Structure 1
């Protein structure tokens, strides 16, 4: 038989069957290209959920849900006919199941979507979250370890592998981190913060992760969503939590919606000439500020390839809130770090933090407010009595003032106002914070020169800095490679700062994980850090004890951490010679104590009226 006759006859028969069965297929083809979030959970605190549906002319269709447990509350049509926003309600007591969302053209089903409602985690990592008991290990995933060479180049993503270029993709991935969890645990870290791992399909400089092109999928060069969840699961088996890096302020110009935006105000300054942010965060607090300065700070773009998201748009606001909740629940995450915290709309930030903490009451969230002014940093912490009445629900803030004070205190000459006095004064400003013990402290991070470089590669000062970080109040965060003295001499190029951890690639001649090829000083630093971290890990007084410090004198700074069970004395002697100190000055804390036990070498010494402290050291003593 002629093939054309077969096709014609088949088409006729199918048409006849369709008519006899009241077929629900549409003559015009409609496809759902994106539906986000792709699934959800029952028993969430907030019962309303908004689905973003995207597909060519999808707004011509009428959605329908046939369920007595799920209510389609409202169908929102917007400027662009390729979008629908569906407001649905998941009733209290709804069981996990799959619903069929039908999209009708007239009375016929043009397309549908099987939407899964899953069971919520009963024992969630966010119920414990991170706190001052933890030390956070910050990793730039592209630069830590390559565990899967097959994903070094992904055809659907524009930027390939170029390990020789500091700003290029180097091939590190999630599998590489999973493979090194034993090392991370052995060193004494208890939380992992990864720079964003979601898709960044940008033509260049995409490895850092802060230009999202898909808010719901892990970048294929790192792995996939399932592997990210596996990392969380495997880390938790070792007592390590996983902190997500969330970006609320901006996305990437390669995002799938960028050339088909839902509405005219999806971005700030959308359709206008490029306007960059002025980075003048002071304008949000300045009693004399012009409105234009505050508006430019919040609504200006970081760079032309990072569109500024308009959180004043209620659909965008819900999208970002739901996206955060989705990742927390999907990957069983222990907490959140928020990039460029103060740049989004202030009212939105209050609502976002409130919504997240309502869903996960014990979750810790730290916001990045990059200023050395503690008055501005403290403004954002929950419980702060602000001059303008602003109410924040943000539990923690990155403590940039103490980072700056630490470096200055160790590098500047000692006099009545500089040197260790600069660190002392930063801590004296803690009255500004509602909860100073919950601040995240750090010697450096992925956006600044490494601490060993900042301290001019002075190893003794490095050890002082690390000792202070592990014994003062707050939650320490350490950047990957700090333990082996990674540095960036002569440049502040971020690609160099975020250089590859040696040993993360099979061809590396030096291996920081095993110690092969490290210098004696690097090995010494690694062992020092390991001992210090694991001591801290098992010392509750440092986690939750009070702090008392004494104003620095003659290049010596003394402080105590104490509770009803234990007491520790930390002595920082910045002088290049051993220095005598009068112990009677510390009688309020020492009381009738007889001896001091240096915790890292276990050689007790008797307390005398005057004592000699070794040169250029920070020594931790347990008081007995």
Structure 2
């Protein structure tokens, strides 16, 4: 929790509370800015030491006024609706709380905005980007001094345990930004960075215990600001992992809620049924719908009640605060299908009103393309229409590239499933906003998924970096990190070279075997090629029905045409370029962008078994 004195919020005088109680006041949001489109702010004042017995609130500051005061059933809280007029100036806003002739004045900071909305921050990510997903605790330790923080519940520090903390931090990431650039990566998505003061399993960050505090074991607020500044200097972007379905059990809103209805309450612990169909199934029982949205993930993660307007405002404001405070460029929303859809739309709308170029994409781990499309902007004629611009494209993973490489070639199996999934893109308003992935912190490492077949792993990366949408790589997959989701800790091991004394170092290449180096070099080559490829970044896509396990698709625009051919069979296959006349007509030659091998388009070619070519066509 952030104490007001640490934010230069002075408690000037207090007679109706003891000095000890006075020092326990906190405000959320901890500050705001002048010139914001969101100029109405609901300020939560919390006192953990005693009740807030207030008869009157007064505020004397040009351009700022109190519109309404809300009392909560829990007397530790007071909610103030503030209006910040367009002409207001930056400064400390004195808010005086009056009780029985005595008063307390709080200085609440009002800052100038950072410049460059949509240009220098809140820039969004698009198909021109290449995202890398990181677990901060498991990537690199740049500052061992913050590995343990006195007073925090989880004091574990043991790299030999998949469940303990390992010491990675923001400085470790900053130290290796050149490595990401060598891969062609343009944006970093970090798992949640907010305080996670839980007793154990804090490496993932999804059990937030204070929305306005950056976890000090990562480097705190100063470290996160430094990371954002460093990314901008490298022409890279910052993606925030937002969690507004649930929080950690030790969050003050769980331990001391303003009112019981800020959380979803059940007579006994009730877990979500995780069935997204209940939100749109015309035959769904209302009780099943309720269990999906209102049920808790686990006992340690209480579920927010988005239909409570105060709770909804708290969550929306904190996201706006993060974008403006830290210069966030895009937001990935965790467990998006479990959130109240009406709240989600309202939150998205307010974020995009404040930051028009900001990008949002949700985690919609569902069953089928139609189900996935329901949770993003789509062309479906339904009573509810999502305004979420993009989604993590689990369908192209689970019903696409995995069966393409792991199932035998058949009429309805193998690579045909990838073709079939992509052919359903007509349901999305803009499928280029979908984020493609091979693996993540919750999914099997792709190298393990394909039974450690390097050939298949190479095909998958070539597909990831050439198909429509926004490619996202999970840290370490480029050097064949392994792990099955049994349990999930095996998916979240340390990046080789991130700790002093590591025998294997992916940053320098020391200790990597031949396969690891080869795949890493493949990603570096294709990732950097993609940076300069207009067709792969923004071009249209055309594909052909697979035959004999061979799937061909083109990315093209007025300036460039790239042909991608994958042979998913265990036999070499003949390629007759004349079959693809709509796209090869007028071109004479194809150059393999990885090997630089030249192929004449008027001659037949032969692609080896389990191989992919990425070819740039020339006249």
Query: TM-score under structure 1 normalisation?
Result: 0.94
Which position in structure 1 is the counterpart of 2:504? 510
Q: Does 1:44 align with 2:40?
A: no
CA distance in 2, matches of 1:39, 1:386: 42
Deviation at 1:609? 4.7
Checking the alignment, whether the CA contact within 8 Å between 1:556 and 1:572 is kept in structure 2 is: yes
Unaligned runs of 5+ in 2: 1-11
Query: Of residues 513, 517, 522 in structure 2, which corresponds to 1:519?
Result: 513
CA contact (8 A) 2:446 2:482 kept: yes
Cα distance in 2 for partners of 1:301, 1:59 equals 34
Residue 154 of structure 1 is aligned with which of 149, 154, 162? Answer: 149
1-structure distance, mates of 2:178, 2:362 = 29
- Please give the secondary structure, in 2, of the residue aligned with 1:49: strand
* Aligned counterpart, 1:591: 585
C-alpha displacement of 1:367: 0.4
Q: Against the structure 1 CA distance between its residues 508 and 402, is the aligned structure 2 distance closer, same or farther, given a 3 Å change threshold?
A: same
Count the aligned residue pairs: 598
C-alpha displacement of 1:413: 0.5
Return the match for 2:179 from 176, 183, 187: 183
Structure number with greater Rg is 1
Candidates 125, 132, 136, aligned match of 1:130:
125
Q: Separation in 1 of the partners of 2:140 and 2:277?
A: 39
Equivalent in 220, 227, 241 of residue 245 of structure 1: 241
1:384 Cα deviation from its structure 2 partner: 3.9
Instruction: Tell me by how many angstroms 1:564 deviates.
Output: 0.8
**2 CA distance for matches of 1:589 and 1:28?**
77
CA contact (8 A) 1:275 1:301 kept: yes
1:146 and 1:68 mapped to 2: Cα distance? 47
Name the counterpart of 1:118: 111
Conserved 8 A contact 2:526-2:593 = no
User: Which of the numbers 200, 203, 207 marks the counterpart of 1:204?
Assistant: 200
1:588 and 1:409 mapped to 2: Cα distance? 25
Q: Give the C-alpha shift of residue 24 in structure 1.
A: 6.2
Q: Give distance in 2, aligned partners of 1:525 and 1:611.
A: 24
Measured against aligned partners, the alpha-carbon deviations of 1:297-326 in whole angstroms (never above 9, x if no partner) come to 000000001000111111000000000000
Q: Distance in 2 between matches of 1:293 and 1:98?
A: 49
1:618, 1:27 → 2: CA distance? Answer: 74
Please give the TM-score of this superposition, normalised by the length of structure 2.
Answer: 0.94
Q: Is the 8 A contact 1:440 1:474 kept in 2?
A: yes
Post-superposition offset of 1:603: 2.7
**Does structure 2 retain, via aligned residues, the 8 Å contact 1:372–1:400?**
no
For the 8 Å contact 2:183–2:524, the answer to whether it is kept is yes
SS at match of 2:613: strand
Residue 263 of structure 1 is matched in structure 2 by 259
Q: CA deviation at 1:229?
A: 1.0
Do structure 1's residue 560 and structure 2's residue 560 form an aligned pair? no
Report what 1:452 is aligned to.
447
Indicate the RMSD between aligned Cα atoms, in angstroms.
1.5
* Contact 1:60–1:81, Cα closer than 8 Å, also in 2: no
Choose which of 64, 71, 81 in structure 2 pairs with 1:70.
64
Identify the match of residue 329 of structure 2 among 320, 329, 334: 334
Structure 1 position 381 matched with structure 2 position 370 = no
Shift of 1:126: 4.3
CA deviation vs aligned residue, 1:35-77 (integer Å, no higher than 9, x gap)? 1111111111121000111112114353221123101011100
How far 1:153 moved relative to its partner? Answer: 1.2
- 1:98 partner SS: strand
Distance 2:529 2:497 in 1: 26
* Structure 2 counterpart of 1:26: 15
Separation in structure 2 between the aligned mates of residue 256 and residue 199 of structure 1, nearest angstrom? 12
Q: Which residue of 1 aligns with 2:427?
A: 432
Q: Name the stretch that deviates more: 473-482 or 182-191.
A: 182-191
- Indicate the residue corresponding to 1:529 in structure 2: 523
Instruction: Tell me, yes or no, if the aligned pair for 2:379 and 2:426 is still in contact at 8 Å.
Output: no
Q: Detail structure 1 runs of 4+ shifted over 4 Å in the superposition.
A: none
DSSP-derived class of the 2:303 partner: coil
Alignment-derived partner of residue 99 in structure 1: 93
Task: Within 5 Å, give how 1:473-488 maps onto structure 2.
Answer: 473-488=468-483
Q: Partner of 1:578 in structure 2?
A: 572
Change (3 A) 1:346 1:413: same
Tell me, yes or no, if the aligned pair for 1:353 and 1:392 is still in contact at 8 Å.
Answer: no
Deviations 1:305-352 (Å, cap 9, x if unpaired)?
Answer: 100011111100000000000000000011000000021212111100
Q: In 2, Cα distance between the equivalents of 1:474 and 1:493?
A: 30
The within-5 A match list for 1:313-462 is 313-388=308-383, 390-404=384-398, 405-462=400-457
Unpaired runs of at least 5, structure 1: 1-22
